[in-house]
Amino acid sequence: MSLETFIQQLANGISLGSLYALIAIGYTMVYGILRLINFAHSDIFMVGAYFAFFLIAVFKLPWLVSAILAIVLTACVGMTIDRIAYRPVRNAPRISALITAVGVSFFLENLGLVTVGARPKPFQRPDLMARVIRIGPAAISGVSIWVPILSIGLVAILLYVIYRTKLGMAMRSVATDIDTTRLMGVNVDTVISYTFAIGSALAAAGGIMWACKYPQINPLMGIYPGWKAFTAAVIGGIGNITGAMIGGFVIGLIEIMAVAAFPALSGYRDGMIFGLLLVFLLVRPTGILGETLKEKV
Amino acid sequence: MRKHLYAAYTKHLNTLLTLILVGILFLTLRWADTRLDDFTLRILRTGAVYIVAAVSYNLINGITGQFSLGPNGFMALGGYTVALLMLPLPQKKFVWFLKPLIWPFNSFSFPSTGLFFSLALILGGLMGALGAFIVGIPSFRLRGDYLAIATFGFGEIIFVLANNLIPLTNGPLGMKGIPELASIYWCFGWAVIATLIVKNIANSSYGRAMKAVRDDEVAAEAMGVSVFQTKMLAFVVSGFFAGVAGGLLVPLITTISPTLFTFTMTFNLLIIIVLGGLGSITGSVITAFSFAIASELLRAVEAPMNIGPIHIPGIAGMRMVVFSALLVLLMIFYRRGIFGQFELSWDWIRSIPAKVADKEVPKKWTREDTSS
């Protein structure tokens, strides 16, 4: 591999990794609080991209306005899903909540297929993202530069919310012990609702940037990024936000670099990540940064 | 002493009644085989295959309470095994025209007879069991929902391999011309075998250990149940019958390709076992069979309709929207499904007259919310 392609692939891997990181944070936050794998998260990612698409293409809003509106709308969708589908099964056996999550995920995908159709739609990206930037010998597309910067900005805001605000304190508290938090007078349901909103907003941001990177969107676009992001969350240590970010970058870089180094493996790139997941579960199930979760009896 | 004799007597009576029921089923099948048209027969056979898959899926999800998303992967393993073994040699040369098929499959094929077909099915089931064992090792060492992730990942790995290992699977093109061996007798025969074996496991001491693990893992462990072994036993048996179901499905539709075993298959099975009642084997049998018939009937939903003056255009894919909404609604409002954890059994049927006679029936202990 020449230096030129190496730099290009590195930028590619980092931008892909930062997108995985954004989605992984949503998984890890919900898992940290509810111990629930939110299967629908990958489809919320898709919903975010579609909101942005329709706001740009149908309502002809400026790009930035549509992106922000789409993020807000998707956050509302996330809260609605929590309110309608997850809250009623919160005290049910764990398996019921998981089945509900699978059902919601399938519902969103198939609703998307029925309403907007299976045909991929071209996503208009802003000039900023489409422009090609030269760094030394390598030509790098603007997406690869801007996606990591925007992602890191969003994560910085998230970390501020979690560690410096009252809402963040409540979220950390719910993650530690939900019953004690309730006794302290915190409205747990509201906190969980906000957690879903924040996670969905990040997923929407990820979805919009994903659509800028790969400007074709379809109702099933969320499945693979979602699962790989979940793998990233597990690899980083599930429930840990910094871990989710590290996991995201690791997965993104491995996926891009392995295929760049061994082009013959390109057909196996999805399988590779899941293989890595199985290896991690076997060798270090708590992930890179994870600590062993104590069993509450 | 009399009580003891009575227990032994009812046990033998139950076996006898089951045998009679199987006999009646066989006679019904003979009647169906000669009288019904191919299309109806095919639906019935698919229903039987669904029974095998759903009953095995319920063993791990409903009875042991471990959320697996893996049956599509195990069915694919079984399906490809049977396809590779049963596809006749001339057909193999015809199918692998891009790259040659690897040894040993390029040098032999099983003759298309029932004996070899059942051997192939058992080998397919063993492949499914092996897959389950491999996924089970990392998943069951951990507490939590890692099984769901690991099984989903496994299914995707199988899908990727099926698409890319062209010398073994012929990639996305798959195989065609597999002899149509899965007759109605084979399908229902395996449905009966799977149901009886899974039901007997569920009623045995192993089954009680599985239910204990489902209801409270920590308490079960404290009582001396080996949680790892119990989960593994349930999962491997489940993987075996999923492999058999995959192996039956392939000679039923005579072709195989990676898209046959996508996640949608698992999703359908999930709806079946939830609707029938997680933990009820007889419930799964009934809903699996009804599902196969209903999903044919529900094709009408996707066709254009005229209700009086209103014209509703047909929307393809509407079935899956309805199914997934149904699953969520079931989970919220009707979590126990049709049967809950209730099993239809001869003992229950015999107790009906007594129940009718005196209305005071002691309520059986049921599992309420035991989430930890």
Buried b (16+ CB within 10 A) or exposed e, A189-204: eebbbbbbbbbbbbbb
Q: Is residue A297 part of a domain?
A: no
Question: Residue A88: is the preceding peptide bond cis (ω within 30°)?
Answer: no
> So what's the pLDDT on residue B95?
79
Q: Do A271 and B156 touch (CB under 8 A)?
A: yes
Q: What is the pLDDT of residues A251-262, one digit of tens each?
A: 999 999 988 888
Domain coverage including residue A218: 3-283
- From the CA atom positions of chain A, what is the Rg in Å? 19
Q: Contacts of residue B220 in chain A, CB cutoff 8 Å?
A: none
Selected residue of A278, A282, A293 to mutate for chain B interface (largest B Cβ count, 10 A): A278
Bridging pattern class, strands A132-135 and A138-141: antiparallel
Q: Is residue A295 part of a domain?
A: no
What's the mean pLDDT in A226-245? 89
Residue A229 pLDDT exceeds 90: yes
Its ipTM equals: 0.87
Q: What is the pLDDT of residues A259-272, one digit of tens each?
A: 888 888 888 888 88
Q: Is residue A99 part of a domain?
A: yes
Q: Do A85 and B65 touch (CB under 8 A)?
A: no
Total domains present in chain A: 1
First CA to last CA distance, chain A: 54
Contact between B75 and B113 (Cβ < 8 Å): no
**A contact set with B (CB within 8 A):** 35, 37, 85, 88-89, 91-96, 98-100, 102-104, 106-107, 110-111, 113-114, 118, 227, 230-231, 234, 267-268, 270-271, 274-275, 277-278, 281-282, 285, 293, 295-297
Residue A230 pLDDT exceeds 80: yes
Residue A222 burial (CB count, 10 A): 30
Q: Do B324 and A271 touch (CB under 8 A)?
A: no
Residue A20 pLDDT exceeds 90: yes
CB contact residues (below 8 A), chain B span 132-161, against chain A: 135, 137-139, 141-146, 148-150, 152-154, 156-157, 159-161
Q: Do B160 and A106 touch (CB under 8 A)?
A: no
Q: What is the pLDDT of residues A193-206, one digit of tens each?
A: 999 999 999 999 99
Q: Do A104 and B274 touch (CB under 8 A)?
A: no
**Token representation of residue B341:** 């954890």
Q: Do A107 and B325 touch (CB under 8 A)?
A: yes
Q: Is residue A117 part of a domain?
A: yes
Q: Contacts of residue B144 in chain A, CB cutoff 8 Å?
A: 35, 293
Within 8 A by CB and 6+ apart from B91, the residues are B177, B178
CATH assignment, B43-302+315-357 = 1.10.3470
Q: What is the pLDDT of residues A52-74, one digit of tens each?
A: 999 998 888 888 999 999 999 99
Per-residue pLDDT tens listing for chain B (372 residues): 566 777 778 878 888 888 888 888 888 888 888 888 888 888 999 999 999 999 999 999 999 999 999 899 999 999 999 999 988 888 887 777 777 777 777 777 788 788 889 999 999 999 999 999 999 998 888 777 788 888 988 998 999 999 988 888 888 888 888 888 888 899 999 999 999 999 999 999 999 999 999 998 889 999 999 999 999 999 999 999 999 999 999 999 889 999 999 888 999 999 899 988 888 899 999 999 998 888 887 777 666 666 666 666 666 777 888 888 888 998 888 888 788 777 788 888 888 777 777 655 555 545 544 444
Query: What confidence tier does A282 reach under pLDDT thresholds 50, 70, 90?
Result: confident
Query: What confidence tier does A292 reach under pLDDT thresholds 50, 70, 90?
Result: low
Q: What is the pLDDT of residues A119-170, one digit of tens each?
A: 898 988 887 777 888 877 778 888 888 899 999 999 999 999 999 999 999 9
CATH of residue A205: 1.10.3470
Q: Where are the domains of chain B?
A: 1-35, 43-302+315-357
Q: Is residue A140 part of a domain?
A: yes
DSSP for B225-293, please give it.
--HHHHHHHHHHHHHHHHHHHHHHHHHHHSEE-GGGGSHHHHHHHHHHHHHH-TT-HHHHHHHHHHHHH
B159 phi-psi bin (left φ>0, alpha ψ -120 to 50, beta other): alpha
Selected residue of A281, A291, A296, A297 to mutate for chain B interface (largest B Cβ count, 10 A): A281
Query: What confidence tier does A5 reach under pLDDT thresholds 50, 70, 90?
Result: confident
| Closest chain A residue to B215, measured at CA | A93
Residue A82 pLDDT exceeds 80: yes
CB contact residues (below 8 A), chain B span 8-27, against chain A: none
pTM of the model: 0.88
CB contact residues (below 8 A), chain B span 287-316, against chain A: 315-316
Tell me the H-state helices in B96-113: none
Highest mean pLDDT among A8-12, A90-94, A195-199, B31-35: A195-199
Q: Is residue A79 part of a domain?
A: yes
